[in-house]
Structure 1
Amino acid sequence: MPVVSRLLSVGLRACEIAFAAVVAGIVGSYLDDYHDGNGWPLARLIYIEVVAGISLLLGLLWLLPFSGGFFHWPMDILLSFAWFASFGLLVEWLGDSTCDGDTFDWNQISFHGFCGRYRTAEAFSFLSAVFWLLSAIVGLWFIRREGRKRTTVVAPAGEGVRVRRPWYRRNRV
């Protein structure tokens, strides 16, 4: 297993876990403060919390060092889409609030209060979506590179050349 792809994968997974933890903490505090009513604002916060929880769980499981972690790229793409949807929900909800500024105007992150925390959740949900997408790209790159590594065995004359995997390679069935 190549060192570069493993280090890149571990770094991406660690960032994904950190970003999901930040979003889960901020959105969890909003859910704790949300006392009156039900409906759409509560449903969107619950969705974001579930996506963050699944991301934390899968990120921790796939952080374990084995080459099978690269074969989870379809789930990485699905989680990336789920994070982009979470980002969209946060952007839509921010448009209804009293916070000023554009969607990508994250200058208020360092300020305390509702707008600063909300912008932080928005920023880290976008970063999480990008990092899950990068993990999927690294997984696809690893699979493509490993698929090219095949050994050739020369057969007796008249039978042609057979291509088969060595006994220590993983079967993709």
Structure 2
Amino acid sequence: MPIFSRLLSVILRIGEIGCAAVVAGIVGNDLAHFDDADSFPNGRWIYTIVVAGISILLGILWLIPFSESFTLWIGDLLVSFAWFAAFGVLVNALDKMSCGATFDWEHITDGGVCDRWKAVEAFSFISAILWLVSAIVGVWFSHRTRDRRPVAGDGLRTGRRGFWGRRHAV
């Protein structure tokens, strides 16, 4: 396994776990502190924290180095789609609040609810991009290593004996 693709995979996994942990921490804190069910879109936060929890779990499991982790790119792609959906529901909810535009980053350090909401929105988008890049790296690695495998029909001897004990080229 090439060192570059393994190193890139580890860096992406650490970034994915970090972004998911930030999102889970902020959303979990907000869910714990708000009592009024009508004032905030709790369903969106619950979906986001579930996606963050799944991302943390899969990121830690897939961080374990083995060569088959690159073939799990379809899982990376599905988690990326889940993060893009979380980003979409957060943007939709932010439009209904009086926090300004989605990408309006003025007064981001004021410490209000809108600042935390925009931070969750930003980290969910970054996490979606990281999972998508991880899927692309997995596809690239899978197709690159698949092309290097020998094919039995290329005149290569398989090293196995035939039915009657004689060698033959397949």
Instruction: Give the drift of 1:65.
Output: 1.2
Instruction: Give the drift of 1:52.
Output: 0.2
Q: Which moved more, 1:120-129 or 1:62-71?
A: 62-71
Question: 1:130 aligned to 2:129?
Answer: yes
Instruction: Give the drift of 1:140.
Output: 0.2
Partner Cα distance (2:158, 2:78) in 1? 30
Q: Which residue identity does 2:139 align to in structure 1?
A: L
Partner Cα distance (1:39, 1:112) in 2? 18
Deviations 1:103-136 (A, max 9, x none): 2233443331211111110000000000000000
Partner Cα distance (1:164, 1:123) in 2? 55
Taking structure 2 as the reference length, the TM-score comes to 0.85
Q: Could you say which residue in structure 1 is the equivalent of 2:23?
A: 23
Q: Could you say which residue in structure 2 is the equivalent of 1:12?
A: 12
Q: Could you say which residue in structure 1 is the equivalent of 2:118?
A: 119
Instruction: Give the drift of 1:71.
Output: 1.0
Is this contact kept in 2: 1:12–1:135, CA < 8 A? yes
Q: Which residue identity does 1:98 align to in structure 2?
A: S
Q: Which runs of 5+ in 2 are unaligned?
A: 160-170
Q: Could you say which residue in structure 2 is the equivalent of 1:170?
A: none
Q: Which residue identity does 2:116 align to in structure 1?
A: R
Give the SS at the match of 2:41: helix
Question: 1:74 aligned to 2:67?
Answer: no
CA separation of 1:19/1:35 partners in 2, compared to 1, >3 Å: closer, same or farther? same
How many equivalent residue pairs?
159
Partner Cα distance (2:62, 2:49) in 1? 20
Q: Could you say which residue in structure 1 is the equivalent of 2:140?
A: 141
Q: Could you say which residue in structure 1 is the equivalent of 2:164?
A: none
Is this contact kept in 2: 1:150–1:163, CA < 8 A? no
Partner Cα distance (2:111, 2:74) in 1? 38
Instruction: Give the drift of 1:31.
Output: 0.9
Is this contact kept in 2: 1:48–1:86, CA < 8 A? yes
Give the SS at the match of 1:110: coil
Question: 1:161 aligned to 2:154?
Answer: yes
Partner Cα distance (1:165, 1:141) in 2? 28
Partner Cα distance (2:26, 2:34) in 1? 12
Higher Cα Rg: structure 1 or 2?
Answer: 2
Taking structure 1 as the reference length, the TM-score comes to 0.84
Partner Cα distance (1:71, 1:161) in 2? 25
Is this contact kept in 2: 1:150–1:164, CA < 8 A? no
Partner Cα distance (1:89, 1:165) in 2? 55
Q: Could you say which residue in structure 2 is the equivalent of 1:90?
A: 90
Deviations 1:67-118 (A, max 9, x none): 1111111111110010001001111111111112x32233443331211111
More strand as a share of residues: 1
